[in-house]
Amino acid sequence: MSAEYGADQIQILEGLEAVRKRPGMYIGSTSARGLHHLVYEIVDNSVDEALAGYCTEIDVQINSDNSITVIDNGRGIPVGIQKKAGLPAVEVVFTVLHAGGKFGGGGYKVSGGLHGVGASVVNALSEWLEVTIYTEGKVYHQRYERGKVVSELEIIGECPAEKHGTKVVFMPDKEIFEETVYDYETLRIRLQETAFLTKALKIILRDDREEKIEKTFHYEGGIQEFVTYLNKGKAPLYENVIYCEGTRENVYVEVAMQHNDAYTENIYTFVNNINTPEGGTHLTGFRNALTKTFNDYAKKNKLLKDSDPALSGEDIREGLTAIISVKIEEPQFEGQTKQKLGNSEARVAVDSVVSEQLTYFLEQNPAVAKAMCEKSILAQRARAAARKARELTRRKTALEGMALPGKLADCSNKDPEKCEIYIVEGDSAGGSAKTARVRDTQAILPLRGKILNVEKARLDKIYANAEIKAMITAFGTGIHEDFDISKLRYHKIIIMTDADVDGAHISTLLLTFLYRFMPELIKQGHVYLAQPPLYKIEKNKRIWYAYNDAELNQILSDIGRDNSNKIQRYKGLGEMDPEQLWETTMDPERRILLRVNMDEDVTSELDLTFTILMGDQVEPRREFIELNARKVQNLDI
Ligand code: TTJ
């Protein structure tokens, strides 16, 4: 750095030092989640420029060295000297904490939760960062290392007069992040979501590492196309995606919705393009409007008799896919994780826009209204039947005490923190597991055959399903409005299936059930996947286990490939004797478990991620297991 440090510069350095000292305070975590947040922080600046009407394309690239490049065709970060700091504005953006990229004010600020902490935080947490600006025929450039200026802003060349935009390249600092390898899918889901939410903005994502990938996300239809995308693979109940749009009290509201013939409710809410997984006032406004408008229409048009009970919100929302997106000048975020919108004007605005435009839509489209109404009435009946069944079990348990399922081999320890339950595919593997287990702390629940897909069944059928009933009673927590996590009987729920396609499918169905009916169990980290091995290698009375082909090859080249190896490929858990099952998959000292996590940054695609927990074996298997876990993640629901 050339100039001497003035008071301003010292303050700047102290600011960014604070970010490096306590990175978690600024980007939430230094795990993979924080690593990906760096990209969103930078891209959000370009999205703001698009929302302001000056940028139509954003290119994001994962480079071969795991650095990230973001390029937009906006006006370019201003390069002129900013009076207050006496520095080029771009330098202020990257070195002053909370300076943000907002010049001239106005518009909708992206500032919720961890978002909008700004480019300076990314800079502070990068080994190096380079910014290039194209404006008025000139190319400007500046480089920083760990937040510090290492080259002054300078003109490095010329460009066509009409070219304009900003390019940022940064390398996440390995001193800060535990994980520095970017995951393509994680970025893909989030960037595609951003493209859906920002009508007509084109986002290109490239991966320049091993297998080159390039995808373009560009949706003229905006959130209407988002709904179509989410309903893909399901049968829509009617052709139209209903769309409402309008501004009330300075809140810009957009809603898109369509029912499908399934039974789950998929509503995703956003404020200034940031998702709000805990909902808030915009969601409340939508629900009120939908319930009231629909009941009014149904009564008025005699789809419901005056003597019929009103349809509940839940009945109307059965099988509904919807996106609610509001833009608001000063969003207030509430709740434990600051992911819930609090502004009351958002409730009023969404309620008003949806009530007005949905009333009009229903009147114009009586066939659609009729289809919706018929589905809601069926939902209402199923719900009543399910309620009756639940009350019956509740009364029964009150009389007879909680009867545990017959197939459950329970553990004897009564301290839930020490207890775990293995949900095992098939009776024969269940038998081995029962023999292998530590009776004191490990319970075994064998499940037979395919598990009911809860996405494709109505509540009454779900509650009547034997396997699902067995799980609910074994866990002890109850379900729905009865759910009480303090009653959980095992702090580890371990899904153990064959290491093949069928096994992966069963895991998927079980995870779907847990995600839909007891998401708290996943959120609080109680759900795990066991990792059985694929091969057993035996030589001179010594035994090795391999969890994939690469590992098998490694072991074979370590011990020498010759005919004296006897290699056994496990086709399923059932092929292992109890002792082998214990050694490889159930012994807490030696087993590997994947803990299932929910990615809260993206909600529109069921995104489960995994943390690896091991016994005393460490590093070498890590990489494979991560890859493997990613595959389980593509839940085909
Ligand atoms: C703000 O208003 C005056 C003209 O320039 C506007 C601006 O700052 N636009 C802008 C910033 N476009 N793109 C950015 C940007 C892009 C990246 C990749 C990173 C950052 C920090 C800002």
In this structure, is residue 599 part of a structural domain?
Answer: no
The set of protein residues with a Cβ atom below 6 angstroms from ligand 1 is 42, 45-46, 49, 70, 72, 74-75, 77-78, 93, 101, 103-104, 119, 166, 168
Are 259 and 367 found together in one domain? Answer: yes
CATH code at position 359: 3.30.230.10
HEC string for 103-146: CCCCCCCCCCCCCCCCHHHHHHCEEEEEEEEEECCEEEEEEEEC
From 152, 184, 218, the end of a domain falls on 218
Return the structure tokens found at 76.
Answer: 């370019």
The whole-number pLDDT of residue 170 equals 98
pTM of the model: 0.81
- Please write the tens of the pLDDT for every residue from 23-76: 998 888 899 999 999 999 999 999 999 989 999 999 999 999 999 999 999 999
SS3 387: helix
**Could you please report the per-residue DSSP string of 396-453?**
HHHHH--PPPTT-B--S---GGG-EEEEEESHHHHHHHHHHS-TTTEEEEEE-SSPP-
- Please write the tens of the pLDDT for every residue from 369-416: 999 999 999 999 988 888 887 777 666 665 555 678 889 999 999 999
In this structure, is residue 437 part of a structural domain?
Answer: no
In this structure, is residue 626 part of a structural domain?
Answer: no
Tally of domains within the chain:
3
User: Residue 71 CA: which ligand 1 atom is closest?
Assistant: 18
Q: Which stretch of DSSP H or E encloses residue 470? A: helix 466-475
Lowest mean pLDDT among 251-255, 343-347, 468-472: 468-472
The whole-number pLDDT of residue 459 equals 83
- Please write the tens of the pLDDT for every residue from 253-286: 999 999 998 888 999 999 998 889 899 999 999 9
Amino acid code (one letter) for 286: F
In this structure, is residue 318 part of a structural domain?
Answer: yes
The whole-number pLDDT of residue 602 equals 65
The whole-number pLDDT of residue 232 equals 87
Q: 39, 42, 49: which to mutate for ligand 1, most atoms within 8 A of CB?
A: 49
* Cβ atoms within 10 Å, residue 7: 7
CA distance readout (Å), 308 to 62, 314, 363, 380, 388: 58, 17, 21, 11, 19
The whole-number pLDDT of residue 95 equals 93
In this structure, is residue 46 part of a structural domain?
Answer: yes
The whole-number pLDDT of residue 71 equals 98
Are 162 and 245 found together in one domain? Answer: no
CA distance 130 to 124: 12
* Beta-bridge partner residues of 62: 68, 207
User: Residue 70 CA: which ligand 1 atom is closest?
Assistant: 18
In this structure, is residue 264 part of a structural domain?
Answer: yes
Mean pLDDT throughout 129-151? 97
Q: What is the mean pLDDT of the chain?
A: 87
Say if residue 290's pLDDT is above 80.
Answer: yes
Are 124 and 229 found together in one domain? Answer: no
The domain of 146 spans: 7-218
In this structure, is residue 253 part of a structural domain?
Answer: yes
- Please write the tens of the pLDDT for every residue from 84-133: 889 999 999 999 986 443 333 444 554 444 445 589 999 999 999 999 99
Are 202 and 318 found together in one domain? Answer: no
Are 208 and 227 found together in one domain? Answer: no
Are 264 and 165 found together in one domain? Answer: no
The whole-number pLDDT of residue 606 equals 59
Picking from 352, 373, 351, the residue whose alpha carbon sits closest to that of residue 362 is 373
The band of 357, judged by pLDDT with boundaries at 50, 70 and 90, is very high
The whole-number pLDDT of residue 559 equals 86
Mean pLDDT throughout 143-167? 97
Q: How far is the CA of 76 from the centre of ligand 1 (A)?
A: 5
The whole-number pLDDT of residue 210 equals 85
Q: Are strands 126-135 and 420-425 parallel, antiparallel or unpaired?
A: unpaired
The whole-number pLDDT of residue 493 equals 97
Are 137 and 177 found together in one domain? Answer: yes
The whole-number pLDDT of residue 6 equals 59
Are 236 and 337 found together in one domain? Answer: yes
User: Residue 101 CA: which ligand 1 atom is closest?
Assistant: 8
Are 238 and 212 found together in one domain? Answer: no
Which active-site residues does the annotation give? 425, 498, 500, 502
